[in-house]
Amino acid sequence: LSLFCNHVAGLGHDLLFLQRKAESDVVGRIREYVYYSHGDESLSLRTIAAHVHLSASYVSRLFHRETGSTITHHINEVRVGRSKPLLATTKMTVSEICHAVGYRSLSHFTKTFGNVVGVSPKLYRLRE
């Protein structure tokens, strides 16, 4: 299980590196920061902007212009993506996974997961 998780994490890092090649350095740094900070419940546009030393409004516009996505959508995609292997390969409860990937609210996690994946976290776990 440990080897599998390390392999999945390595693939995520490789994908992040490939995405960075096609984007500005700032957007690449934003993606990297979100990828490694996704478990922090306080992760937000404001904390990301502070990390890259730019205004929140500029970061929001730049990220959307280069990726076609909002920062919030990207954070949710990363968090949901990181929750999927936990649901499929661990005995952690959905609530524990919710908090491990950075959500404060189980209902918000469940709703977001459903919007991104198309099924609830519990149903995803049963299918995997």
pLDDT in tens, 82-104: 999 999 999 999 999 999 999 99
User: What's this model's pTM, rounded to 2 decimal places?
Assistant: 0.81
Q: Which two three-digit tokens encode residue 37?
A: 């900070």
Average pLDDT over residues 6-31: 69
Residue 57's identity, in one-letter code, is S
Identify the pLDDT of residue 5. Answer: 56
pLDDT at 24 over 80: yes
- Residue 71 near residue 47, CB atoms below 8 Å: no
How crowded is residue 30: how many other Cβ atoms within 10 Å of its Cβ?
Answer: 26
- Residue 56 near residue 49, CB atoms below 8 Å: yes
Lookup result for tokens 């920062």: 71
Average pLDDT over residues 42-47: 96
Long-range contacts of 84-88 (CB under 8 A, 24+ apart): 84/117, 84/124, 84/128, 85/4, 85/5, 85/8, 87/121, 87/124, 87/125, 87/128, 88/124, 88/125, 88/128
Q: Residue 17: which pLDDT band, with cuts at 50, 70 and 90?
A: low
pLDDT at 4 over 90: no
Percent of the residues in the chain that have a pLDDT greater than 90, as a whole number? 80
pLDDT at 19 over 60: no
Q: Which two three-digit tokens encode residue 124?
A: 């995803």
Average pLDDT over residues 44-48: 97
Average pLDDT over residues 25-38: 94
Longest Cα–Cα distance in the chain = 43
